[in-house]
Amino acid sequence: MRKNIITKDKLKEWGIDWIFIIVGCALGAFSSICIMIPNGLSSGGITGLCRILQETTGINFSILYYGCAFLILVICSILLGIGEARKILLLTILYPGFLFLFEQLDITLLEKKDVILAAIYCGVFAGASTGLIFTRGYSFGGTDTIAKIIKKKLLPQVGISKILLVIDAVIIIASGVFFGRNIALYALVTQIIFSRVVDYVMYGFESRVVQLEIITDKHKEVADYILHEVKRGVSNVNIIGQYTQQPRQKIITLCSPRESMLIKQFVAKVDRNAFVTVIRVETVWGLGAGFSDLVDKGE
């Protein structure tokens, strides 16, 4: 009987995952094919890179995206391991298919060309897409994966967010070379809106860093997962429950919103009776934790 319940729960989780993934892919593809490209815009990330390649080669955007995504998947599996590659495998296969579908549909959101509205709504739809995907613990495997590779192999002392910022900046500047300075500026607007919408979809108006406090009977499994899979630090705090008067340990960790979703899903899998608290964090200082430098280099 218990086995049937677990099977049903897993099927339900998979069903929810697929709903979020399909809607997320559809929104992302609609943003690129039906808003960005018809208005001659570009963006940061792998999307912006593919726009530049499309402009120079004339190859369909969906084909270019699939090629870039597959190349990142292969490099990721070699340099970061199969575990990291598994996280982006599904979207690497599925998302370019949605891009191709919308190319065939040949529809646009705006009645006529309007780069200002297009830049805004491109950010809104793309942000909603990424937010939905991140909420279920998946990733598109774009420049965030490239940033992880650079950090691990070349710049271990630099935070991933800073590397990602530089990559996106380089792509946006390159867009200015191929499409004109105004398009690069519109791409910057799109990127800012995109980031805010991702945060809003996942955590309302909360910050990009959250603190998780976890009380669980599977303490070792959860702590090991955070340390070795999510690659975040873990602190243990001894506590005593007032009702039971039993000593227990509470896990505390700082992570990104997407990583918090991965941890939540893992905790739910190993201990459905666990207690998890998510606390908004305004700022984190300390390179040892992989966040901002405690020392202001401008001083």
Query: For residue 122, which of 105, 108, 136, 106 has the smallest C-alpha distance?
Result: 108
CA distance 117 to 166: 26
pLDDT at 294: 54
pLDDT at 85: 83
- Encode pLDDT of 126-180 as tens digits: 999 988 888 887 878 788 888 888 888 888 877 777 788 888 889 999 999 999 9
Q: What is the DSSP letter of 259?
A: H
Angle CA 211–130–288, to nearest 5:
35
Over the chain, what is the mean pLDDT? 85
CA distance 175 to 65: 16
pTM (two decimals): 0.69
Q: Which residue has the higher pLDDT, 224 or 134?
A: 224
pLDDT at 208 over 80: no
Q: What type of residue sits at position 263?
A: I
Poorest-pLDDT segment among 18-22, 203-207, 245-249: 203-207
pLDDT at 80: 83
CA distance 77 to 10: 27
SS3 of residue 291 by DSSP: coil
pLDDT at 297: 46
pLDDT at 101: 94
pLDDT at 293: 59
Can you name the residues that pair with 213 across neighbouring β-strands? Answer: 252, 277
Q: What type of residue sits at position 212?
A: L
- Encode pLDDT of 48-62 as tens digits: 999 999 999 989 999
Largest CA distance in the chain: 69
Beta-carbon contacts of 192 under 8 Å, excluding residues fewer than 6 positions away, are 123
pLDDT at 296 over 70: no
Please state the length of the chain.
Answer: 299
- Encode pLDDT of 234-288 as tens digits: 989 988 878 888 888 899 999 887 788 889 888 988 998 899 998 877 666 665 5
SS3 of residue 284 by DSSP: coil
pLDDT at 94 over 60: yes
pLDDT bucket at 10, cuts 50 / 70 / 90: confident
pLDDT at 216 over 70: yes
* All domains of the chain in start order, with CATH: 2-203 (no CATH), 209-289 (3.30.70.120)
pLDDT at 298 over 50: no
Can you name the residues that pair with 278 across neighbouring β-strands? Answer: 212
Across the chain, the runs of DSSP E, i.e. the strands, are: 209-215, 235-240, 247-255, 275-281
Q: How many CB atoms lie within 10 A of CB 160?
A: 17
Strand ordering across the sheet containing 209-215? 235-240, 247-255, 209-215, 275-281
Q: Which residue has the higher pLDDT, 81 or 100?
A: 100
The secondary structure of 98-158 as a DSSP string is HHHHHHHHT--SSSS--HHHHHHHHHHHHHHHHHHHHHTT----SHHHHHHHHHHHT-TTS
